[in-house]
Every structure is written in C-alpha cells, then in structure tokens.
Chains A and B, each alone.
Chain A
Amino acid sequence: MNDQKADTSQEPVSTLDRLREQGVSRRDFLKFCTGVAVALGLPLGMGEAIAEAVANQKRPPVLWLSAQECTGCTESLLRSNHPTFEKLILELISLEYHETLLAGCGKQAEDWRVKSMKENKGRYILVVDGSIPVKDNGIYCKIGGKTAQSLLEEMGAQAAAVIAIGSCASWGGIPSADPNPTGATSAHEVLKMKGITTPVVNIPGCPPNPYNFLSTVLHLLTFRKLPELDEQARPKFAYGRLIHENCERRPHFDSGRFAVQFGDEGHRKGYCLYKLGCKGPETFANCPSILYNDVGAGAWPVGTGHPCFGCTEKGVGFTVPLHYPARPKYITPPTFFTEAYPGKPEVAPGTKALAAGVAGAVIGAAGAAMLTGLGKKDDENKDKEE
C-alpha cells in the first residue's frame, strides 16, 4: 500500500502505461470500457469517453471500511473470472486502506488510515461493506479499539462519496434479520442519524455483482458524479428492473409451467421456480442479464435451478421465508423471452450481452412511455420499506 501511495504522489504515469506494464493492451482496455458503457446503459461510443477519462487522471484514493461483514463482497470483487478485472480494479483506483488486503497491521494500519484520510480529505471515495451495529453503543464491531459506528461517522464526513457495497451496508442485510440482535444498520442510516450529508450510493446484493460496483466507480470517474439513483439510492442502470422481467424462465411463468418440488419433472425441465418460493417477482436487480463470473449463460441462481431469495431487496432477502411465495410487484410483459443466440455456445458471452444491450436500446428508443410503465411506483416502495 505504501508503495502505491508513493506512486500516486508523483505525476504522472498514465493509467494506460501502467496497464501496458501489466500486459493489458489499449485494445483490451477499450473493450473493457465499452463493456462498462453497455452495462451502464450508455451509448456504445461512451466506452471511449470512459477510457479517456480514466486513462488521463490520477487514480482516485479509496478507503474501504469493513464492519459486520463476511468478506464475501471483497471476495466476489477479487475473484471475478474476467482475466484482467482484478488488475484493473487495483490499477484504476488507489486503494489506501482495506483491512483484509492491507500489509501492515495494528497501529501501522490505523496510522496509515488517519494519514491517508488527512491527505485526501474531501476527495476520497469511502467504500463500506457490512452493516453497522448501533445497539449498546456499537460495541458489537470494533477496529483498533474504535466502534465501526464512530469510524463510519469520522470517515464518511470527510469523503467525497460513500459507496455501500453489499446488502449489509446497503440496508442491514443478514445481521439485521429478525430479531436483529446487534442493532445492525445500513451505512446510509448511520450517516443520516448523525446529520452527515455525504452522497451515498447503495450496491445491494449478497454478494453484489462486481460489475455493478465497478461501473459505478467508472461513472464517478468519467462524469464526476454518481449515476442516476432510485429512491433507495441504488443505481438505476443495475436495479431499475425486476429480476422477473428479464428472467429466462419467464415464458414458463407466463404459460403456467412450474417446478413444484426440487428434482421433480418441471424442475428438471427448467420450468419457472415461482412455486418453490422464487422472489424474482419482487426483487430489483440485473442478475439475469449481467450474470456472474464470466462463464456464460445460466450463471446466476435461477439459472442453476434455485429460486431467487431476494438478497438485494430490503424487506425480502433474509426477511420473507425462503419457500414462501413471492408477492408479485406488478405484472408487466417480459422484455425478452430467450437469450439472443440460444443453443450456440460458440457465440461469446460478450456478444450475447451486447445483443441484449442493443435490444434494450431499441426498446428504449421505441417507447419511452413503455419504460415509464416499467418504472417502480413510489408508494409501492414505501410499503416495502416498512
């Protein structure tokens, strides 16, 4: 970490040069940025704008605060199968402090945190994973003798923006499940209670898809502002649609073909998992379209035959019993019925994603009114928060 810091203080080795040293070509980098532009729902040409913005600026300092977490968020970020992904994430930002990744420990680690906060005051990004226990004065999570609550207040107040990664930091997640023994609270709530107004973006998921996190960071770097957020401070590009709207099993739902038990004929045939308790109809996330680990089609919970349990959604994940049927939010036509190139393993996953993205763009151009119809209704979300 110390080496990285020394690196940023002297001007300027461009990001592109650094990536070249890592064996990432300009072409690969552009391809990556274009992928991010698609994920963000931006026109394809924006990939170059992102590449330019990112390549020509100093890496932004990032401090990472872990509270009541299991490190799953960090793991999903670091173990993404995309060959250059971890290099990019480590080379794009200057990771100043992260308990699990820091070389020094004890006093050394805490001194570095304080020094880095002071040097980067007002311009660092604070990433928070894990919920913050507030019961009994926050004693259920301490780092270097300080409670996570006091650390979040201190670090959040001086940050340019806070990114809450994972469901725990976004809305409380698993530690906040009934009876919430430690008073586990989201980062957003803790800052609000203290009157701290630093902008917060929530990337829920257990764990969240790393690309949703990375796209948010790149948006911040390129446009110097957070992406468009919904009323729960989640980026709309990732959490704007119900899982049920983009699920590849949706035609089975619409035709009334369901798996009723694990291993029954319907389950083996890949029918809809609604009757096994799938929470896709009330959970907002892009899992079916962005998938996991770059291994191709089907790499997401429903794709493997397990019902979605609503991990991204406050009031659903860890709250509604797993095999209890979902309460569908609203009935809308699916955006597409099958993947773009069914049964063609030779078509690269990237091309499939691209085709899906283009299809989305076409729908967007054809009917803004239709998309408005798909938007979440405010009053419904209020109900959900209660």
Chain B
Amino acid sequence: MAKRITIDPITRIEGHLRIDCEIEGGSVTNAWASGQMWRGIETILKGRDPREAWIFTQRFCGV
C-alpha cells in the first residue's frame, strides 16, 4: 500500500508551497508540488498601459 505524505507549508522559501508524495517500499513513487497562493496578476495586467506593466510583474516575487 502506498503511503501519502503532505508537507505544507514548505518554509525558507518565498511564497506558499505544498509538496505531496506517495511512498511505496521506501521510495517515492509519485510527487506533486503545488503553489498555494494565486493573485491573478495576468488577469490584472489585461488592458493596462504597457508602460506600467513592470509595476505589476516586478512584484511577482520580492526576493
């Protein structure tokens, strides 16, 4: 029987990351990484003056 482990939150990184893995016979057989936060910056950018796009895209990540 595969065992499932979830690690959430993954710390010491920017953002909200979650890792799920399936373990069978002592080794990882399947794994998923998922971002747990969404702001919709692509949606916010639509229809804006291209000269100000940097204000938004620059703030994807502040690290």
Contact = CB atoms under 8 A, between A and B. Distances in A.
A179 B44 contact: yes
Interface in B1-20: 6-16, 18
A71 B62 contact: yes
A260 B41 CA distance: 30
A142 interface: yes
Interface residues of B, number: 31
A309 B55 CA distance: 9
A73 B62 contact: yes
Contact of A109 (B11, B13, B36, B56): B11
Contacts of B40: 140, 175, 181-182
Interface string A122-142: 000000000001000000111
A175 B39 contact: yes
Interface string A317-347: 0100111000000000000000000000000
Nearest to A97: B11
Contacts of A71: 14-15, 61-63
Contacts of B41: 174-175
A13 interface: no
Interface size class of A (residues with CB under 8 A): 35 or more
Contact of B12 (A76, A105, A177, A323): A105
Contact of B11 (A67, A102, A206): A102
B39 A182 contact: yes
A100 interface: yes
Contacts of A318: 55-56
A321 B55 CA distance: 10
A106 interface: yes
Nearest to A321: B49
A298 interface: no
Contacts of A363: none
Contacts of B36: 141-143
A105 B59 CA distance: 25
Interface of A: 66-76, 99-107, 109-110, 133, 140-145, 148, 174-175, 177-179, 181-182, 184, 206-207, 309, 318, 321-323
Given A72-B62, A175-B44, A178-B44, 9 more contacts: A66-B16, A71-B62, A100-B13, A105-B7, A106-B6, A141-B37, A143-B8, A148-B37, A318-B56
The 10 A-B residue pairs with the shortest CB-CB distance, nearest first, are A72-B62, A181-B40, A322-B52, A70-B62, A106-B7, A71-B14, A175-B39, A105-B11, A102-B11, A141-B37
